[in-house]
Amino acid sequence: MADKLVADKHLRYILNLMAEKKKESFESVVMDHLRMNGAYWGLTTLALLDKLGSVSEDEVVSWVMTCQHESGGFAGNTGHDPHVLYTLSAVQILALFDKLNILDVEKVSNYIAGLQNEDGSFSGDIWGEVDTRFSYIAICCLSILKCLDKINVKKAVDYIVSCKNLDGGFGCSPGAESHAGQIFCCVGALAITGNLHRVDKDLLGWWLCERQDYESGGLNGRPEKLPDVCYSWWVLSSLIMIDRVHWIEKAKLVKFILDSQDMDNGGISDRPSYTVDIFHTYFGVAGLSLLEYPGVKTIDPAYALPVHVINRILFTK
């Protein structure tokens, strides 16, 4: 049982994972193809703990740039293929370090805009898979780069709304089951584009607050599934964006996240007693940030970056 966030242990865990000597570890090897996402999860956790200064900015930024392709998109690692999933993480990492100025914004934004389809949806890369995750990524990325005018926002929004279900939630495509991860994407994209009035807030808020497991306090991603720390992010951020976060029991959720920490070696896992990983470490700390846990910096629920970073980007020229 844990009664506090062991921030120093999480810092050690993340720094070890990023260090060269750990490149052969199991977690490192299975993450090889999505290292860009892993870097975003680890670095944003550090930023929320006010420890971003513990890593070499030059090293990270130059590695990020080695992952960019001629098309303008970024890959998950050096020598891999580009995809919007990694392009958003690359842009977010540069934003964390206040280094967006080194980007060829024209090139990156053309890559993303070129993936919009006739019906307003977005493909993730040249191979064409369509998913509301990619709609969110395109909108979030282009908003950070101040290039939303490069896409047809109205069509993008109408497509997202076409993925809304009778239960108030959203799926990955029209008619697909509501899932908290996709709900974050759809609500986030609607928030960024000023279209939250197209969400049925009470209906969706009810579906989202029903994700809380009464016993453990943790949240799941859809009915009948196990609670998982990462939904502290996907569900809570959505509830905050639609102004219904007071519909869950915050103290119980804080306890669930704290109980999922590895108190000896740092890191946070899916749920108490499971094995930690960087994904759950990030979404656990990000969840605590949304829960206003003391000592954790505030994260923006739509952009998934610290509020001070978003303010720097959106409110400066």
Query: What DSSP character marks residue 101?
Result: G
| Contact flag: residue 10 with ligand GRG (CB under 6 A) | no
| Contact flag: residue 222 with ligand GRG (CB under 6 A) | yes
Count other C-beta atoms under 10 Å from residue 223's C-beta: 11
Q: Report the Cα 89 to chain-centroid distance in Å.
A: 9
Chain residues 287-306 in contact with ligand GRG, contact rule CB under 6 A: 304
Task: Give whichever of 153 and 229 is closer to ligand GRG, judged by the CB atom.
Answer: 229
| Contact flag: residue 252 with ligand GRG (CB under 6 A) | no
| Contact present, 292 and 232 (Cβ < 8 Å) | no
Structure tokens that stand for 65 in this block:
């740039």
Q: Least distance (Å) from ligand GRG to the CB of residue 264? A: 25
Instruction: Out of 111, 122, 136, 207, point to the residue binding ligand GRG (CB under 6 A).
Output: 136
Instruction: Out of 133, 164, 211, 280, point to the residue binding ligand GRG (CB under 6 A).
Output: 133
| Contact flag: residue 183 with ligand GRG (CB under 6 A) | no
Backbone φ and ψ for 276, nearest 5 degrees, come out as -75, 155
Structure tokens that stand for 265 in this block:
């070696």
Using the structure block, give the residue that is written with the tokens 């720390």.
229
Say how far apart CA 147 and CA 170 lie, in whole Å.
26
Q: Least distance (Å) from ligand GRG to the CB of residue 139? A: 11
How many residues make up the chain in this entry?
317
Stretch that binds ligand GRG, among 57-65, 120-128, 129-137, 252-260 (CB under 6 A): 129-137
| Contact flag: residue 120 with ligand GRG (CB under 6 A) | no
Structure tokens that stand for 157 in this block:
């929004």
Q: Least distance (Å) from ligand GRG to the CB of residue 194? A: 19
Task: Give whichever of 6 and 304 is closer to ligand GRG, judged by the CB atom.
Answer: 304
| Contact flag: residue 230 with ligand GRG (CB under 6 A) | yes
Instruction: Out of 144, 185, 245, 288, point to the residue binding ligand GRG (CB under 6 A).
Output: 185
Nearest residue (beta carbon) to ligand GRG: 181
Instruction: Out of 201, 225, 244, 252, point to the residue binding ligand GRG (CB under 6 A).
Output: 225
Q: Least distance (Å) from ligand GRG to the CB of residue 305? A: 8
Say how far apart CA 128 and CA 83 lie, in whole Å.
11
Instruction: Out of 164, 234, 238, 248, point to the residue binding ligand GRG (CB under 6 A).
Output: 234
| Contact flag: residue 124 with ligand GRG (CB under 6 A) | no
Residues 6+ apart with CB under 8 A from 255: 217
Q: Least distance (Å) from ligand GRG to the CB of residue 227? A: 9
Structure tokens that stand for 73 in this block:
């998109």
| Contact flag: residue 228 with ligand GRG (CB under 6 A) | yes
Instruction: Out of 121, 143, 182, 238, point to the residue binding ligand GRG (CB under 6 A).
Output: 182
Using the structure block, give the residue that is written with the tokens 């990156």.
108
Question: Beta-strand (E) ranges in the chain?
Answer: 268-269, 276-277
Task: Tell me if residue 308 falls in helix, strand or coil.
Answer: helix
| Contact flag: residue 238 with ligand GRG (CB under 6 A) | no
Structure tokens that stand for 314 in this block:
């959106």
| Contact present, 42 and 18 (Cβ < 8 Å) | yes
Say how far apart CA 310 and CA 306 lie, in whole Å.
7
Say how far apart CA 170 and CA 161 lie, in whole Å.
8
* Residues of this chain that bind ligand GRG (CB under 6 A): 85, 88, 133, 136-137, 181-182, 184-185, 221-222, 225, 228, 230, 234, 304
